Every structure is written in structure tokens, then in C-alpha cells.
Structure 1
Amino acid sequence: MGIDLTGGGSMLLLGSSMAVVGFLLLWFTPYVGLLTMVIGLGIVWSNEDQKIKKKNEKKLYEQESERMFERLKFDDPTSPQLFELSTLLYGTIKPHEAWLLEQLDDLELMYVNDAKGTIDETQNVSHGKFKNLFETAEKYKAICTFLSRECSSEIFEDIKTVSSKIDSDMSKSDDQSGLPPNLNDLLEDYDLEVWAKALIKKETDARNDRNTIINTVTIQARKELNKSISVACLHDEWIINGRIKFKL
């Protein structure tokens, strides 16, 4: 076995040689021998420390690559970056290809037995079997193309229909959340404010403490208005349902 005289190998050889020479010199010139041995051991220690650091850096890099691979294999399963990571980690894309094929087989088998349930499962990104692997019809088609498998028009259309409906529902929800309150809501808030203000003033005049007033207003709202409301008081300002604010 040859000795590596480049880089770390040469430094290790140099440090070891100096340590041995220093040890021998201890018998003749103790000071020079001790100094030479300490320098030699220092070089050896530094070389080993660098090896450990490089090993740890390599391990961290591999762990980060694995985490990215695990994310991309669902997010973007046919991307060049994913293939590059697969080659880096496993030397080939074959393991990823085999995994994709298994997922596709499971999808089609489940679809045969329960079409609607299977399509719903593809949209269960957080806890579903496939996560977001088949979240869109385009991703399903790209996977089929990559695996040279025939793309099922039924599965493609069903995923597209469901995912489009989800996007549409989310868009409507966002639009509605941004709408200003309508006239009925404003009138209802006004009536609630008048009612609450009168009751709180009555309780305040009776010298009841804040917690008693809050409890009374909450109970009376359920009895008289058949509503559950929240009541708070901050800086002498009464707040009903987080949005109706007034001072007495």
C-alpha cells in the first residue's frame, strides 16, 4: 500500500516524522526535542481535525441533499434537479423511477376499486398517501410520460375537475372575505351596539364590577337575542365581538 504524499497525507507524514525526531532529540537536546515533538504532534492533530471537519461537512451536505430529494420527489418528480440529486445520492435515477412506477401502479389500482375516493386522496396533500405527487392533472401526465406509460384520460380529467373546483372555491372564499359588510350586517351591528350599550350602562350605574358586567351581558345576549357574543373592556372602551367599540 502506497503512502499518500499529497495534501493531508504529506502533512500527516511531516507531523509524524517531526514527532519521532523530537522524541529522539529529547535524549540529547531536551528543549529542541520537546519543541520539535510538540510542533509535530500539533501538525498531526491539525491534520486529523481537518479530516473530521471535512467528513462532517460531507455528511451535512448529504443530509441536506436527501432532505431536498425527499421534498422534490413529490413537488417536482420529473425535474432535472431531482434527477441530478438522485444520481448524486444513488448513482442513478433508477430507484426514483422504480418508486414513481410503484406510486402510479397504486394510483391506478385504487382508482379501479374506488374512483372518487382515489381522486380525493390525490388532493389530500397534508395527510394523503400520495401527498402532492398527483395534485394536478399536469403532474400526473408528466409522470406517465416519464415512465412511458399510457396516460389515463379518465384519471387526468377527474384530477383536473377536482383540483379546478378546489381552486375555484378558494378563490371565491378569498373574494368573499375581502367584501365590506352588507347593509343587513351594519344594521345588525347597530342594533347590537344600542342593546349592549344600554345594558352595560345599567350595570355600571348599579356599580357592578367589570367581570360581572361581562358575564351579565353574555348571558342576556343568549336569553334575549339568542346569540353568543364576546364582550371585553380595554382602556374603558367596551368591545363587542371584536369590532363594535364604544365608551360610555
Structure 2
Amino acid sequence: MISETEKQWHYHDVKQEQGPFHLIGDVHGCLDELLALLRKLGYEVYFEHAQQRYAVIPPEGYKAIFLGDLTDRGPNSPEVLRLVMDMVAQGLAYCVTGNHDDKLYRLLLGHQVQVRHGLELTVAQLSAYDTAFRERVKAFFGSLPHHLILDEGRLVVAHAGLEERLHGRNSKGVRALCLYGPVNGDKDEKGLPVRLDWAADYCGKAIVVYGHTPVLSPRWRNNTINLDTGCVFGGRLTALSYPYQELTSVDALATYAEPARPFIQHPHPSHTS
């Protein structure tokens, strides 16, 4: 029998799913911006008070794919979780796990973790919810894959990206790369791990869509694109329509947190609608 932890060592092969998809970058508890983005993309979203759930009607044929980091730093992580969990339960979305989601998952499992980098805010927000909701969140996180393979292998989704040779691989090391990206073992002046630019050397045929590291604007690089445009830091929440390669974004309603490091600025940013 596969344990809850072992489930997250697995990728999810859904090659038969050919889209179209809306791939959505790091939400980090920004519920109002997520609702605005979904509605801009053509989704109808209703909250059913009696059932305490979201009912969602997508634009015809579309499914959403969330790139992870649903929680932390933002004003309403529990309701972001409820919305995404409801969309997944209704068969309207997929989601991969992010490093912030994983830390909350480990906390819910009873493991010792450092409650910082916005996790303290999520914990405080969840304290207003009952045990059944927190158990649902735990089960949801335990079911999430570290990466997805879709559209006959043409599309790969991982929170921090993934180099081609590791697509479809399962191990603790692959999972760590999907959640955190590659690092060189050094620390920067703020004590944070120095991240390696894996996309600079990517030459795979599959499109890789990821987030994790905030950028001022998404840009295609070697068949990869980073959709984390730092909504929680006062930037934007961005979606990619696949296979049409159209970008859509909404502005953050506020600056909810300060970034630990500057946004990456590409020399030739793409434009969003």
C-alpha cells in the first residue's frame, strides 16, 4: 500500500488529456485575484453557501491547471484551497504540488517544520476552519503529483520546472527538483539558496510550464515559460491558454508581502492581455 508521503513521489501521466487548458501561476492565497482571473478567462464561479462549496462552469472544453503554491503570504489561503479542491473534485482542474503546499502538508501530518515565509499566516487563517476542512486539505495535498505529463507528452507541468531527462521519472530527487528547482549548494547574501537557471539549457521537445521564481513578465525561453508573476508581492496573476500560447493576467489588488529577492526581469518580456 502506498503511503501518503509516497503518493507525492509520483508524477501523473495524463497524456490523453489534450486540452485546451488554462495554466495558472502561483496564487499564494490571493483569492480575489484568482476569481477575477478565472472570470476574465470565461469561467463562471458561484459559492453555494448551503453546501459550503464553489460551483464552477468553465469555458467550453477547458480545464484549469494550477502550478502549485496555492497558499501562504496572501489574505485568504483557505478559500483558495477550497476553490481549487472543488474544481479538481468536479473534474475541471489539475494541480501539482508546490514547495509552500508541501510545507503546509508536512505540518498537517504532524511533522516539525519552520513556520515562516507566510506559513504562519496560513496557519492562523486555517484556525478558523473546522477539523474536517483541515483533513480535506491534508488529503488533497497528499494526492497531488510532483509533475504532470499531458497532450501525448507535448506538455509538462511542474512547480519549479523540470529538465527533459527527468520527465516521467519518480524519485525523491526528482520530486525535490519539481518543488524547489536546482540549486548549487551556495547561499546568497540573504541566506537563501542560489537557484540555477535550468531553463537556459533546456532543449526538450515538450513545453514546460512552471512558476516558483517571480518574474516581472512571462517570456518563452527554450520551450519553457514561467508564469509566476508575483501576485502576492503586488505583481500580477497570470494564466497561459494552451495550446494557443495566449497570456492573460490580472493585477494584484494590493502588495500583501515583500519578496525575499528581486523579481527576475527578462530583456524582452512578453505582453499579456
TM-score (norm 2): 0.19
Report which structure shows greater RCO (CA 8 Å, sep ≥6).
2
* Greater Rg by CA: 1
TM-score (norm 1): 0.20
More strand by share: 2
More helix by share: 1
